[in-house]
A and B are shown apart, each in its own frame.
Chain A
C-alpha cells in the first residue's frame, strides 16, 4: 500500500505535466484560426516552465516533449498527424524543443541552487542552535546531553548513544536517547568525537531504515567537531578547577595547622608545667596547691579534647563525609543534653530556654545538632559578659520550618563581619585576644547546611543573636505525631 503511494507520488509530476499541456491545448485549439504558429509555440513554453519550476528538470523535459508533440499534432499542418511538411515548421519545431529543454535545465538548476541554499541555511541554523545550546554549559554530562538532543533533532534516528571516554581524569559515561532505549545490534552509523589532542568518545546512531543523506552526515560531523571541542574545554576547565581547589585546600590546611599548633600549645604548656612541678622533688607541695595544679591539668585536657573534636568535625565536613544520621528528635532534649554537658561553662550565665512542649519533632542527627548548640553556647559564653543572660527561643515561622534563636548580651558585630563569622578561621578580634581555633562557627554552618537548613547572625537590641532555620519535612514527610496513650 505504502509502495503504491510512493510510486504514485513519484509519477504525479509527470501526470500533472501532461494535464498542464492538455489544459493549454484546449483554448489554443479553439483559437487556432486566429493565432499564428509562433504565438502558439511561445504559449506552450508556459506549462513547460511551470512544470520545471514546480517539479524539477525531468518533469520539465517531459513536459517539453509532450508540448512539442501536441504543438506538432494540433497546430502544424497537416493537422492531426505527426508529419511536418514545411521546412519552416520543422525549424520552428526544432527550436521549440531546444528552447523548452534549455529553459527546463536553467530553471531546474536555479531550483537546485535554491534548495541547496535553503539546506545550507538550515545547517547553519542547526549549528548556531548547537553552539547556543553549548554556551554556558560546563558539565560534561550536560554538554553530552545537548549534543545528543541536537543530533536527534537533525537526523531521524530510532536510537542514539553517546559514549564518553575517561578523559582528563573525568569518569566515563554513556548517554542514551531515548533514555530507556537499548540496542543490542551494531549501530548503523558512528561518528567519533575527537579533537587534535584526544579521542573523547563517539556518537552511535541506529537509523530508521533510510541511510543518512550526505548533507545530514556533513552536519553531524560538524556537530561532532563542535561538541568534542566543548567537551574538551569543559574537561580541561574541571581539571583546572580541581587544581585550584587543591591549592585552596592546601592553603586552608596550612592555616589550620598554624592555628591549631598555636591553640594546642597553651593547654599543653599548662599541663607540662603542672606535671613537672608535681614530679619535682624540690618542693613539698601542699595539698591545696597540688589540687589546684591537678584541676588545671584536668581542665586543660578537656579543652584539648574539645579542640581535637572540632578538628575531627572540620575534617569530616571538608571531606564531605558529614552525613547526618537523621531521626525524629525532640529539640528540647537535644538542648537539655548540651546544657548538662556544658554546665561548667554555662553555670556562669543565666539560661533562658523558651521551647514549647507542643513543638513538632525535628528530623536531625542528635549528636551533630548537639555539637551545633554546644559550639553556639560556647561562642556566646566567650563574648558575653559573665552573669548575663543567654536566651534560646524556638518558633515556627511557617509550618514547615523551625527557627531557633540564641541571643546573648555580648557586644554587637559590625554588619560587614556578620556574614563572614561562619567562614573558617574568620575572627573579628585579633587571634591573640580570644582563644579558639576559629572553627566552631564554620562547623555549625557545615552541620546545619548538611541538614538542609541555614544559619546566620544578627545584631539585636540586647546584643547579638545566632539564628538557625531547619526544615521540618524530611524526605517529603511531615513530623510524625506520636499519639497520647490513656492511663
Chain B
C-alpha cells in the first residue's frame, strides 16, 4: 500500500520529471498535470490528498485554479511561485491556498510542507483541539491561557486574539489581510502597522530571541505563519 496521493501541476516538463521521481522515491503516489484545466479535471477524478500548484500556468492564473478547487474541496494546496510574484501569491493564498514555496526550493523544505499540510488536513477533519502546543509554549484556546515553559504569559486581549488566530491555523501562511480581517475586522484591512506592532510584542513575550523567532515567522510581502514544533 503506497502513501498519500499528490497531484503536481506545472507546465515545465523538467520540474514535473524531477518532482515525480523524488516524490515517488519518498513513497507518495504521484499524478501530474500541465494546465489548470487538466488540474481541475484530475483533482475531481482522482481525489488526491494534496495539490502542488505552480502559479505560472499557461491557461489560467493560480488564483482562479484555487478558487475553482475551493468551490468543492478542502484538499490542501501548496503553491509554487517565483520571486517578484508576491502579489499573485497573496491572491492565491486569499483564495484558499494553504502554503507556498518560492522556486528554487530545497526538496527537504517541500517534503516538510507536504507533511505539515497532510497532518493538518487530517486533524481538521476530526475534532478541533483546544490546546495548541509548540516547543516550549502552549496555548489554551478555551481557557485563554498561554504558557511558556509552564509559566503563564500575560497577553492583552488583542495579543491573545492574534496568537489564537495564528495558532488555530498553525503552520499555514496567513496573509496580512486575512489576519487583519479576522482579528481586527474588515475596516482594518489596510492597517498593516497594527499587525506589525502586535506581532513584535508577541515575539518579545514568547520568543527566546525575538530577533530570531522560532514560532512567529514573517513571510516577507505575504503574511505570517505560526510554526508548531514537535
Q: Which residues of A contact B (CB under 8 A)?
A: 298, 301, 305, 309, 312, 316, 325, 327-330, 332-333, 336-337, 339-340, 353, 361, 365-367, 370, 480, 482, 485-487
Contact = CB atoms under 8 A, between A and B. Distances in A.
B229 to A, nearest CB: 16
Interface string B217-230: 01011000000000
A325 B222 CA distance: 12
A480 B193 contact: yes
A328 B192 contact: yes
A394 to B, nearest CB: 14
Contacts of A301: 104
A367 B219 CA distance: 10
A366 B224 CA distance: 13
Contacts of B140: none
B221 A366 contact: yes
Contacts of B197: 330, 361, 482
A316 B84 contact: yes
Contacts of B194: 482
B189 to A, nearest CB: 12
B157 A485 contact: yes
Given A370-B220, A480-B193, A482-B194, A305 B200 contact: no
A329 B192 CA distance: 8
A305 B104 CA distance: 7
A213 B197 CA distance: 71
B83 interface: yes
Contact of B218 (A305, A312, A337): A337
A327 B213 CA distance: 22
Given A305-B104, A316-B84, A485-B156, A333 B200 contact: yes
B94 interface: no
A328 B218 CA distance: 15
B212 A485 contact: no
B196 A328 contact: yes
B12 interface: no
Given A301-B104, A309-B83, A312-B83, A327 B192 contact: yes
B159 interface: yes
B102 to A, nearest CB: 9
Nearest to A335: B211
Given A337-B218, A486-B156, 11 more contacts: A305-B104, A327-B193, A329-B196, A332-B200, A333-B218, A339-B212, A366-B220, A367-B221, A480-B193, A487-B154, A487-B156
Contacts of A482: 193-194, 197-198
B59 interface: no
B196 A361 contact: yes
Contacts of A333: 196, 199-200, 218
B214 to A, nearest CB: 11
Contacts of B86: 325, 367
B220 A340 contact: no
B158 interface: yes
Contacts of B221: 325, 365-367
A325 B196 CA distance: 16
B222 to A, nearest CB: 9
Contact of A340 (B154, B156, B212): B212
Which 8 A-B residue pairings sit nearest by Cβ, starting from the closest? A328-B193, A485-B156, A367-B221, A482-B197, A327-B192, A336-B211, A367-B220, A330-B196
A312 B84 contact: yes
Contacts of B106: 298
A283 to B, nearest CB: 24
A297 to B, nearest CB: 12
Contacts of A370: 220
Interface string B173-201: 00000000000000000011110111110
A486 B196 CA distance: 18
A486 B154 CA distance: 10
Contacts of A325: 86, 221
Contacts of A298: 106
Contacts of B213: 336
A479 to B, nearest CB: 8
Contact of B212 (A305, A336, A366, A367): A336
A327 B200 CA distance: 16
Nearest to A336: B211
Nearest to B199: A333
B217 to A, nearest CB: 9
Contacts of A353: 211
6 contacts: A309-B83, A312-B84, A330-B197, A366-B221, A367-B220, A482-B198
Nearest to B211: A336
Interface-central residue, B193, B194, B218, by most chain A CB under 10 Å: B193
Nearest to A309: B83
